[in-house]
């Protein structure tokens, strides 16, 4: 195979429509532009979403929702995910194990799943229920 022999598959490319070449060509007279108005004229330009001066749809609809800027820097860790981490569990250990995102600045252990062994948390917060479960398993939580 040579580069000069490579061609698109048959039927994958359509010929460019030549407009304004008479009635027999299928796109004569107004050339598919309708009748009069800004869009029928040469150079008739308007911005995307422009509705002729009417209030555009994106401005008529209400704003919805909220996106927290600190969400990317916070992480939740399930109790069951702590089972696979050896030694002292801190933010660096969680990142190394792939439990939390690399951008995380803080992590919090939540009560989800079961803890099968004692773990020592350092510099990581825990919810009330998770703290009880860690203590019950023989672990400890140390504030940084």
Residue 56: which pLDDT band, with cuts at 50, 70 and 90?
very high
Instruction: Give tens-digit pLDDT for 57-108.
Output: 999 999 999 999 999 999 999 999 999 898 899 999 999 999 999 999 999 9
Q: How far apart are CA 82 and CA 91, in angstroms?
A: 12
The pTM score is 0.56
Give the pLDDT confidence score for residue 136 in this predicted structure: 93
pLDDT digits (tens, 9 = 90+) for 112-135: 999 999 999 999 999 999 999 999
With tokens 């400890």, the residue in question is: 140
Residue 52: what pLDDT? 86
Instruction: Quickly state the pLDDT bin for 44 (edges 50, 70, 90).
Output: confident
Among 129, 141, 134, 94, smallest CA distance to 118 is for: 134
Domains of the chain: 18-62 (no CATH), 71-142 (3.100.10.10)
CA separation, residue 4 to residues 1, 7, 12, 14, 112 (Å): 9, 8, 18, 20, 61
């Amino acid at each position: 195979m040579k580069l000069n022999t490579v061609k698109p598959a048959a039927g994958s490319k359509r010929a460019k429509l030549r407009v304004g070449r008479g009635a027999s060509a299928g796109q004569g007279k107004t050339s598919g532009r309708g009748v009069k108005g800004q869009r029928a004229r040469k150079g008739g330009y308007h911005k995307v979403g422009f509705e002729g001066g009417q209030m555009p749809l994106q401005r008529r609809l209400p704003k919805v929702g909220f996106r927290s800027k600190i969400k990317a820097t916070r992480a939740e860790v399930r109790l069951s995910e702590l089972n696979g981490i050896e030694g002292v569990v801190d933010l660096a250990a969680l990142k190394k194990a792939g439990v939390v995102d690399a951008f995380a600045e803080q992590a919090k252990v939540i009560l989800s799943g079961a803890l099968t062994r004692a773990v020592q948390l350092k510099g990581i917060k825990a919810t009330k229920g998770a703290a009880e479960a860690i203590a019950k398993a023989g672990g400890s939580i140390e504030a940084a």
